[in-house]
A and B are shown apart, each in its own frame.
Chain A
Amino acid sequence: MTQLVSSNANVVVEQLRSWRPSSVTQVVEHRGATTVVVPKDQLREIAQFCKESPKLQFNLLSDATCVDRFPIEPRFELNYQLVSIPLRQRICLRTAVSGQQPIIDSLEPVWPGANWLEREIFDLFGVRFEGHTDLRRILLPDEFKGAPLRRDFPVEGER
C-alpha cells in the first residue's frame, strides 16, 4: 500500500520545504521512489527551482505522463520524472488537474525536452499546456475526435 511519509524523507523534500513551505502538499514514498505532490499553480516555479537549485540540479526531464482517474475528480494526474545526472537522484513531481478545466502550465520553458512529451499528453488525454510553443496533435491525425487514453473512451474506439 501507498505509505504516507510526513517527515522530510530526503534532501529534495527538505530543500523544497525550506524554499517555500507551501510547495509540498504531500510526499509519497512508494517502493523506494519518492513522489512529491505539488500544487498545480506552482508547478512551473517548483520545476524551475528543482532544476536550478545547486543542491538538487534536476537537469534532465526524463518522462512526463498522465493518469486518468475517471470518475474521481480531479481526474487527471500528471507525473514528471526528473533525473539529476550530477547528483544521481530521481524524483517524481505529481500534480492533479481537473476534468472540467484541463489546463496546466507547460514545463517547456524549463526543460525544452517537455515539448513532445506534453504534446503526447495533449494528443491522448486532451490536457492543454499553457505556454507551450507548439501544442498540436503528435501521434493521431488532426481530424481525430476525442482523447483516446481517457478512461471513458472505449478500447474498441468510438463506434
Chain B
Amino acid sequence: MTTVETAIGATKTMVLNMGPQHPSTHGVLRVLLELDGENVVTAVPDLGYLHTGIEKSCEDKTYSQAITLTDRIDYLNPLGNNLAYCLAVEKLLDLPVPKRAQYIRVMMVELQRISSHLVWLGTHALDMGAMSVMLYAFREREEILKIFERFAGQRMMTSYIRIGGVALEPPTGWREMVKKFIDAMPAKIDEYEALLTENRIWKGRLEGVGYLPAEQLIALSTTGPGLRAAGVNFDNRKMFPYSSYEEFDFDVPTRTESDCFARYLVRVAEMRESVKIVRQAMDKITDHGVFKAEAPGIIPPQREKMKTEMEALIYHFKIFTEGFSPPPGEAYAAVESPRGELGCFVASDGSPKPLRVHFRGPSFVNLQALPFMVKGQLIADVVASIGTIDIVLGEVDR
C-alpha cells in the first residue's frame, strides 16, 4: 500500500507502526505514529487494505443488482446503505414511495442504528478494557439481528430496502417481536450506562481525550455523532428530512465538550431516541397496505399477477434480464447513518447500468480528523480516538 514517509525529527522521535492487524483499529487500518516518548508527534493513517472496488463493480450491474453490493460497504449499517442508494435511484426515476413503505424503512433503519451503536459500544468498551459491556451489547444486537432475519431472511446483508419500497411484506407476528424488543431496550441502555457513565476508569480514559473544536471538525467535513458532540446540531434527519422523517418526533442529542466521552454520551442518547422513533413507526405502519410502489417496468410485479397477466410476466422478464433505464441525469441522496452523512451519488446516461455510483462514506471522511485529534496525546489515546470516530473499514476503503 501507500508508503508513508514520516518526517523523522532530529534525535529523539521514533516511528511505530500500528496495524493493519491491530485489534483496536477495528479492521485493517494502519496508522503510522511518530512518537516522542509516548506522545504522538504525527499520525498518518494508511488506508486501502480492504479496497474492493465496489463503485466500479456497480457500473457493471443493473440498478437493482447493485443493491446487494451496497450492503457490503458499511457492514454494520447495510440497511442504511440500501436506503441511501435507493433514495438516489428513486430521485433519478422520480419515483414516489408509498407512505407505508417509508415507515417500514424508517423502522428498519432505526433498529439498524441501535445495533450499530451497540457494536460500537461493545467494541469500544473492549478497547478500553471493559470486557463485560461487549457481552451485554451483543446480547441485544442478537435480538435485532433476529428481527432482521424474520423480515428479510438474512441477518446482516439483508438487501431488504429495494428501489420503490422494501423487498417483502413484514412477517406475521413482527409487531409483537419488535415491541418486545423496544419495550426492553431502555432498561438495557440504563444497564450499559450503569456500567460505564460513572465508571472512573472509563471517564479517565475518555474525558478530555481526542478534543477538536467545532470549527475545525466542520472544516474537516466531519459529520455524525462526532460533530454533534461538539455542539453542532447537524442531523440530516432533521435538516434535510427524507423518508418522512419530518413526521417523527425525536430529539437530536448534542454535547459541547467534543471529547471522546461526549461522543459516547451522544451515541447512548441516540439509541434512546431511536427507540422512540421505532415505536412511532410501528404505530404508523398499518396492518394492510402496499410495501412497494406501483411502477410497471421498474418494480417487479407481484407473483400472483405474473401467473394471470401477460404484461406482468413480460415486465418481470425484462426487469431481471435487461433492467430498467432511468432518464439521464445525476442524483445525490444523503441519509444520516450511525456514523454521519452517508451520501450516494448516482449518475445515469440512460442505459440500464449506472454510469457512476459513488458513496460518500462517513467513516472515510471522519477518519481525516484522526491526526489532528491525537496530536500530542498518548498512544492509548489514539486507541480511544479511533474508537470514538467509529470507523468501519468496509466503508473507509469500499
A-B contact count (CB 8 A): 116
Q: Which residues of A contact B327 (CB under 8 A)?
A: 1-2
Q: Residue B234 contacts which of A85, A136, A139 (CB distance < 8 angstroms)?
A: A85
User: Of A9-17, A18-26, A28-36, which binds chain B?
Assistant: A28-36
Does the CB pair A61–B330 fall under 8 Å? no
Does the CB pair A112–B358 fall under 8 Å? no
Does the CB pair A67–B347 fall under 8 Å? yes
Q: Which residues of A contact B171 (CB under 8 A)?
A: none
Does the CB pair B219–A116 fall under 8 Å? no
Question: Does B71 make an interface contact (CB < 8 A)?
Answer: no
Interfacial residues, chain A to chain B (CB-CB below 8 A): 1-2, 30-33, 35, 59-63, 65, 67-69, 79, 81, 85, 88, 90, 92, 111-117, 120, 124, 136-142, 148-149, 151, 153, 155
Does the CB pair B360–A65 fall under 8 Å? yes
Does the CB pair B2–A61 fall under 8 Å? no
> For A33, A65, A124, which residue has the most chain B Cβ atoms within 10 angstroms?
A65
Q: Which residues of A contact B188 (CB under 8 A)?
A: none
Q: Residue A35 contacts which of B60, B221, B330, B364 (CB distance < 8 angstroms)?
A: B330
Q: Which residues of A contact B341 (CB under 8 A)?
A: 62
Complexed CA–CA distance, A79 and B88 (Å): 15
Does the CB pair B328–A1 fall under 8 Å? yes
Minimum distance in angstroms from A71 CB to a CB of chain B: 12
Q: Which residues of A contact B367 (CB under 8 A)?
A: 116
A-B complex: 4 closest residue pairs judged by Cβ atoms: A113-B221, A63-B360, A139-B48, A65-B358
Does the CB pair B56–A155 fall under 8 Å? yes
Complexed CA–CA distance, A1 and B57 (Å): 26
Q: Which residues of B contact A153 (CB under 8 A)?
A: 56
Does the CB pair A112–B2 fall under 8 Å? no
Question: Mind listing 20 A-B residue pairs with CB under 8 Å?
Answer: A1-B327, A59-B219, A61-B221, A63-B343, A65-B358, A67-B330, A67-B347, A81-B343, A90-B240, A92-B332, A113-B368, A138-B2, A139-B47, A139-B397, A140-B48, A140-B51, A141-B1, A142-B1, A148-B53, A149-B56
